[in-house]
Structure 1
Amino acid sequence: MIKYIILLALCLAGNNIYAQSISGRISNTNGEPIAFANVQLLNTNKGAMTDKEGKYELNVPSGTYQIAFSYLGYATVVKSITLSTNDIATLDIVLIEKSEALSQVVVTAEKRETVLQRTPIAATVLDAEDLKQTRAWSFSDVTALAPSLLTTEHGSSTSSLFINIRGVMGLHSQTAVATYVDGVYQFEGFGVPLTFNNVDNIEVLRGPQGTLYGRNAFGGVINIKTKQPTNTPEGYVSVSYGNFEQQRYQASYSTPIIKNKLFAGVTAQFDQREGVYQNTVTNDDFDRPQSISGGLNLRYLATDKLDVTFNGRFERNEDFGSYAWVRSDSILFAEPYSVDRDRRNIELRNNHSASVKINYEAEAFDIQSITSYQSYERGFPELLDVDFSAANARAAKNDFDINTFTQELRFSSKQRSDSPFDWTVGSFAFIAPNGTRDNAFINFFDDGETRAENENRFDNKGIAFYGQGNYAFNEQWEATVGLRYDIENQRLLQELRNVDIDGNVTVTQPFKNFESTFEAFTPKFILNYKPTENTIVYAQYARGFRPGGLNTNSPNEADVPFDPEYSNNYEIGIKNTFFDNRLKFNITGFLLQQRDQQITVIEDSFFLTRNTGNVDNLGAEIEVEALPLKGLQLIWNASVSDAEYKELLIADAATGTNIDLSGNKPLFNPPFVSFSAIQYTKEFNKGFSAFIRGEHRYTGEHFFNFNNEIRQSPYNLYNARIGGRYKNFELAFWARNLTERKYRTWATGVFLLGSPRFYGATLSYDF
């Protein structure tokens, strides 16, 4: 009996013994070994780290692999290798400093790791170094860092930021751009993490991504990936201080608890500044935003095939002086950054999430499961001033609370397979039970007040099934076909009531149930051609879907439901890399057609979402990055857009009739946006280097209302950064909006200016 047990154990152990190996040495251009460099087999749990002599070794099954070689300060290199049974391969790598070569960026845009410049999709990746160089602290700072990417701030609060890709921007919480954090869909649009904490990179995917990403990936997807712990202990601390008493403190540390098995990482961040706006009623600062955020990452490599990761994070925002709106355009510029308020407009926002990701490499395919819980709440401990004056005339209340559970299960073909066909199939399900949103408008009089109250309870759930396959006809031609089916159910229990000046309550609508179900098929087709190793040409069609919903602030039953919105995206693109990876040059052309557009309109002081408007947007995007000389980096991103409403009927509050505005330009969609940057880094002896960077952003004329009467003229913004680095320490001085250009960010009913000139310094230490 014992001999059979021993025999069985040996057989099981044999599954983890590989007869194939890859080994080699990683060095720099001087031939010096690079110790502790990372070696990662893409789309697997396997990796290694070089020893003091720069040597590494991996034992793997037979097959074809993509291997990424990386080290801090050097350009990442991705190599392909094929191993037959009993092969012993040697792969030596020479890494080039980032000042002399561009990295081969790895993305997960297709739910698997691929090299960005070889992937047929319009995407931009901003890594941690990019975010540091551009002083991008939050979503409000990333406008134009990727072509066609704009962010719009409409209320000077952390829950009032809209993300716009290719002119597609949802003006309500069901955003038109889906955001993911560590693979987890951020269900509530206003609940995405606004401050960037411990970010490894951000992927900006342009155009509908409905097949693999589903609901609300209507204009695109933003993937935020945080830094995950590894076998190497590492961390950083950072302190920033600037005008308006800007303060930012960051700390992060990760370490192996059990080498090659269990890893942990923690991070914390605190942001605060004092008032940009002055309150003429109190002669004090009006605003003071503050946020604190943190996270915990645990990773357990149970076996060479099973990888379990836990990610937990939280963000708490406290905004004194939110919604610093003024009543007219003339006041906006005549008295900039000035408000007259009898209330402090305090807004509190809490966002907590936890997720477990399980990767398992089975014999025939790979499995990934992502389970998450998200809690988002927002409210005002005091009433919100909505008369925009010193008079105590009108106030509002808006409290929101939602908890969401999501589950994604995905199966994919083995990436090491020699088959010309690879595939991904999966499902995504969510449930958001017992959500609440309570609204009230209060009118004040000398002898009392009246209230219009709206109480809402909602339950949402949905499920989707998707699949995508890629077939390589040969080494040059490849086709991709994908299809997704979504079905979603939304239920709303709503009561409307009025309270008169004597305190008498009149229920205008007793609690009533509303329910809607939405479903959609979203296909995707791509054909790509690779004439050379450094060039790819592709054509794509993709359909986008944004589910309908139920208005929770509706004055009557007929206005509660609104229908889904759809889009068709036709796209062609070419990606090129030249001169030994010193020049990247990408061009994309697209036609994006929005149908049954969901538009938020104001009718009788109620914000309502309606389906009205068909938009065609013909555009182009360009990305250029070059290293013409050692240490000199040049970047230029630009987007061109020719968009107009083919159909648009909206209600005119003055006449009570519909107005035909066909032919008008859509909101927040400049015809031309450009971002350029130049940075020079000079390295000296003994670990010291100095850098200087300048940035320019041009934003063309765009409109804020549907009749195109309120517009923002073209404007330029200039940013700068200068500093030095000595070994692990870095000191940088930075400035944003150097010329203090005043421009509107919002001008629809109420008016808001963009941020003034910010400047300051950041001292950081990494280890």
Structure 2
Amino acid sequence: MLILYYLKLYVFCRLKVRKIRYNINDKLSLSSTTAHRKYEEIQANDWDFTADYANRMHVIVDSTHESLSEELKLNYENDKIKLVSGLFAETQDIHEVNNSDKWWKSSIQTSTSDSEIDSIGLFSHLIYKLSDKLSVLGGLRYDEVEQEYKDSAETIENSENELSPKLGLTYDISENIMTYATISKGYRPGGFNTGAAEGYSKTYDKETLYSYEVGLKGSGLGKRLVYDISLYYMNISDLQVYVYYPTTGGTEEIYGNAAEATSQGVEISLNFQATKSLNLFAGFSYNDISFDKYHDGTEDLSGNRAQYSPEYSFNIGALYRAGNGFYASADISGYGDMYLDPENDYKRDAYELVNAKVGYEAEHYDIYLYAKNIFDKEYDLLGHASGSYDIYSEPREIGVQLTYRF
């Protein structure tokens, strides 16, 4: 049996966030959020796909990730207008050391690489009340991304920008019920295929979509029941997908782009405060996403479902918090069939998981006894999407969790 061994360790992680808010007057305020994150990650991988532990193709990756971001927002509000405008800027740096031990090499091969991503976004969002019940909303965002990847063999650069508008209406049916309709444009940046073999693209394109959504939000039973229902339809251009091609010892995974795709579905969430201590919740979503136009260079995949997108998902559970600090929760989550490749040759069947947690919550610390996947459900990815190896599902896990707040 072919087994993939994979180990990931977060050796060091640091996150600092500073928030500042200044009230210029009773209608105008300025806020700033600064965040700095740095962590080191070590991955150990056995890529030879054999049942023994011989060093045929082992890879250890030691990487350091660091990012610094700043968001400035100017908020204005009066009886008719709510306006938020601002900018978001971020710089990310990744340094990676790759040590590979391969049977066809005479010694361990070491390589280093550096990646830098600089992004900036300007945005503005306005809600204007046309009447006591009807409001119009509009938004505009401009994004610009500069990316660079560098190793001993090459330097790859990529630059993108995108303008994303949004327009919508909201209507208050009653004091506790509102409905809305929106049209918006979304955007996901492209990136690099740094390990792509000769003849394959070193970059992949950005993904854009137009989203049309209608929904209903409300509360009832003395505001103890809160619900949210939405229907959506999306036209997607250059949908980012995984593409597999054969290499020595298995397959290689890179990103590609499907020409056009459509996504449509429904999302429902319910939250009920049954008693002061007991909260019940449930959610359901259905999503149909398929390629409208996509030829991967070998065959026409138009009409196939997009990969890594379950047909449906749901969760239902209960949470109990007593006034004396006692805590208990249990939930069931489920996922529908999901294809793993654009050709729709491999898929993971539907499955459900049961989790539970019980513990004590205090002012400065929490302690829990938890259980994940209580019934040890198997939901393996047999053959994976490349057909060369299996990925086994996480087994039942029972443990103790401690949280301390300084």
TM-score, structure 2 as length reference: 0.79
1:760 is aligned, of 393, 399, 402, to: 399
Matched residue SS, 1:649:
coil
Structure with bigger RCO (C-alpha 8 Å, 6+ apart): 1
Is this contact kept in 2: 1:615–1:647, CA < 8 A?
yes
Matching of residue 671 in structure 1 with residue 311 in structure 2: yes
Matched residue SS, 2:374:
coil
1:659 is matched with 299
CA 1:728–1:361 in 2, change beyond 3 Å: closer, same or farther? closer
The offset of 1:301, in angstroms, is 7.3
2:368 is aligned, of 710, 729, 732, to: 732
CA 1:402–1:635 in 2, change beyond 3 Å: closer, same or farther? same
Q: Which deviations, in whole Å up to 9, do the C-alpha atoms of 1:678-717 show, x marking residues without a partner?
A: 122344xxxx342321111111111112222211111111
- Partner Cα separation in structure 2 for residue 363 and residue 632 of structure 1: 36
The offset of 1:302, in angstroms, is 8.4
Q: After the TM superposition, which of the residue ranges 757-766 and 301-310 deviates more from structure 2?
A: 301-310
Which structure has greater helix proportion?
Answer: 1
1:69-468 paired onto structure 2 within 5 Å: 287=7, 289-298=9-18, 310-319=34-43, 321-322=44-45, 327=49, 340=53, 342=55, 345-355=59-69, 372-380=90-98, 382-383=99-100, 392-393=103-104, 399-407=112-120, 428=121, 466-468=123-125
2:280 is aligned, of 620, 628, 634, to: 634
The offset of 1:646, in angstroms, is 2.0
Identity of aligned residues (%): 20
- Partner Cα separation in structure 2 for residue 566 and residue 360 of structure 1: 28
1:63 is matched with none
Matching of residue 537 in structure 1 with residue 183 in structure 2: no
Is this contact kept in 2: 1:704–1:748, CA < 8 A?
yes
1:569 is matched with 211
Matched residue SS, 1:596:
strand
The offset of 1:542, in angstroms, is 1.3
CA 1:339–1:664 in 2, change beyond 3 Å: closer, same or farther? farther
1:692-711 paired onto structure 2 within 5 Å: 692-711=328-347
The amino acid of 2:60's aligned partner reads I
2:377 is aligned, of 733, 736, 741, to: 741
Is this contact kept in 1: 2:359–2:368, CA < 8 A?
yes
1:623 is aligned, of 269, 286, 307, to: 269
The offset of 1:758, in angstroms, is 1.8
Structure 2 unaligned residues grouped into runs of 5+: none
Matching of residue 472 in structure 1 with residue 109 in structure 2: no
The amino acid of 2:94's aligned partner reads Y
- Partner Cα separation in structure 2 for residue 363 and residue 695 of structure 1: 40
CA 1:278–1:550 in 2, change beyond 3 Å: closer, same or farther? closer
**Paired residues, what number?**
386
Is this contact kept in 2: 1:471–1:478, CA < 8 A?
yes
The offset of 1:614, in angstroms, is 2.3
The amino acid of 2:37's aligned partner reads R
1:591 is matched with 233
Is this contact kept in 2: 1:325–1:751, CA < 8 A?
no
Structure 1 unaligned residues grouped into runs of 5+: 1-276, 280-285, 332-337, 386-391, 408-427, 429-464, 497-510, 652-657
The offset of 1:540, in angstroms, is 1.1
The amino acid of 1:754's aligned partner reads S
CA 1:739–1:550 in 2, change beyond 3 Å: closer, same or farther? closer
Q: Which deviations, in whole Å up to 9, do the C-alpha atoms of 1:234-271 show, x marking residues without a partner?
A: xxxxxxxxxxxxxxxxxxxxxxxxxxxxxxxxxxxxxx
The amino acid of 1:696's aligned partner reads I
- Partner Cα separation in structure 1 for residue 281 and residue 64 of structure 2: 37
CA 1:325–1:698 in 2, change beyond 3 Å: closer, same or farther? farther
2:222 is matched with 580
CA 1:524–1:599 in 2, change beyond 3 Å: closer, same or farther? same
- Partner Cα separation in structure 2 for residue 466 and residue 635 of structure 1: 34
The offset of 1:581, in angstroms, is 2.5
The offset of 1:490, in angstroms, is 6.4
- Partner Cα separation in structure 1 for residue 149 and residue 92 of structure 2: 20
The offset of 1:537, in angstroms, is 0.5
Is this contact kept in 2: 1:377–1:402, CA < 8 A?
yes
The offset of 1:309, in angstroms, is 5.7
